[in-house]
Amino acid sequence: MFAQTAGTVDPNREIGTSRSFPLSVTVVASTNAADATNTRRRREHIQMDPDLFRQLKAAGLVNLNNHLMLTMGGYSVPLTVQILAPQSTITQACIGVEALARFPGVSLPASGTLSAYAPSTPVDDAAAQAAGQYYEFLTDNGSNTTMLVIVPHAGNIELNTETLATAAKVALDAAGKATSIWGGRGYGTGAQDSYDHWHISTVDTWISQHPVLDTIDARGWTYCLSFHGQSASNRIDIGCKTAQDAFVDALVSALQGDAALSTQTIARTSDTSEIAGADSHNLGNRLSSHYVQFEIGPEARADSSMRDAIIAKIATAWGAL
């Protein structure tokens, strides 16, 4: 598509600015070792030739680490943009086997299209389910800066995370911590489930591509709490920045002592874990100075008694600060 001499990228090459989406590309298998140990990010990244990236950027279509929609075989997926090393001979786009699994029945190389990513304009939830859409929502008084609860994978992406967020707002408001909620509801279509259709890790979430989130980004939140679903059975993992260690250790101990959660393994996540909340790029750490992240298995998310126990301990811990 954009021919280049193998092993070189010409910095003086003329950059066209007439490109528009959707843009047809040939997608091939990735051989890049970036994020080699992080399965989740391999599932969510698309890599492209530097010249292709420079042309798209010059046309105002993409920035490094923001998201594009890749459509192949009738399925669309948001993927985070990475640039391949300059010596690459790939002239279009490539994804790894983990990302390919998000496109049922597709094998590489394949013809695809790149288009702009943006959540849908807020719509009726039933209509969003029928159309397989992702849209943002905000529960907020217009000026709060105390506590923000985020659930970017609500709807059917990570079930019952929004239920936890709603309950947390009620309990935290009552504990004296004025609370707002931002989230995104997403739904699948056909053979592609909601997670594969819409999941973007919070480490990669590009705020300016989420117009509702962008309206509250600059407030300078004091506290931020997020609820996520994990697939591991009977687990609740809690992550944070190092400065929050003592708070989270106490919260873990309180949850471990709750009889309603006796079937759950409850632990502080390692800072190097894929589901840790320690990364400075994590959305919660970008939004606030005090961030705690919950990764909750399917059993605790589905059980109302366990959800109530989690929320009660959260309200007590945050209310004391």
Strand 67-72 vs strand 110-116: parallel, antiparallel, or unpaired? antiparallel
CA dihedral sign of residues 277, 274, 100, 93? positive
pTM beyond 0.85: yes
What is the C-alpha separation between 97 and 100, in angstroms, rounded? 5
Q: What is the pLDDT along the chain (321 residues), one digit of tens a residue?
A: 222 222 233 333 333 344 566 888 889 888 665 566 677 778 999 988 787 788 778 777 777 778 999 999 999 999 999 887 655 555 578 898 899 999 999 999 999 998 889 999 878 999 999 999 999 999 999 999 999 999 999 999 999 999 999 999 999 999 999 999 999 999 998 889 999 999 999 999 999 999 999 999 999 999 999 999 999 999 999 998 877 788 999 999 999 999 999 999 999 987 667 778 888 889 999 999 899 999 999 999 999 999 999 999 999 999 888
Provide the token pair at 271: 């800072």
Q: Are 225 and 294 in contact (CB under 8 A)?
A: yes
Q: Are 199 and 228 in contact (CB under 8 A)?
A: no
Question: What domains can you pick out in the chain, each with its CATH number?
Answer: 23-116 (2.40.40.20), 125-319 (3.40.630.100)
Provide the token pair at 259: 């009889």
- Long-range interactions of 165-170: CB distance < 8 A, separation 24+: 165/227, 167/307, 167/308, 167/311, 168/225, 168/227, 168/311, 168/314, 168/315, 169/139
Phi and psi of 164, rounded to 5°? -65, -40
Spell out the residues 6+ positions from residue 5 whose beta carbon is closer than 8 angstroms to its own: none
Predicted local distance difference test score (pLDDT) of residue 193: 94
Spell out the residues 6+ positions from residue 52 whose beta carbon is closer than 8 angstroms to its own: 1, 2, 91, 92, 93
Q: Are 259 and 252 in contact (CB under 8 A)?
A: no
The 10 Å CB-count burial string (b at 16+, else e) for 274-306 is: bbbbbbeebbbbbbbebbbbbbbbbebbebeeb
Phi and psi of 142, rounded to 5°? 95, -10
Closest CA to 93 of 113, 75, 73, 107: 113
What is the C-alpha separation between 295 and 297, in angstroms, rounded? 7
Provide the token pair at 49: 């030739």
What is the C-alpha separation between 79 and 200, in angstroms, rounded? 8
Provide the token pair at 6: 């193998």
Predicted local distance difference test score (pLDDT) of residue 26: 87
Provide the token pair at 298: 């399917």
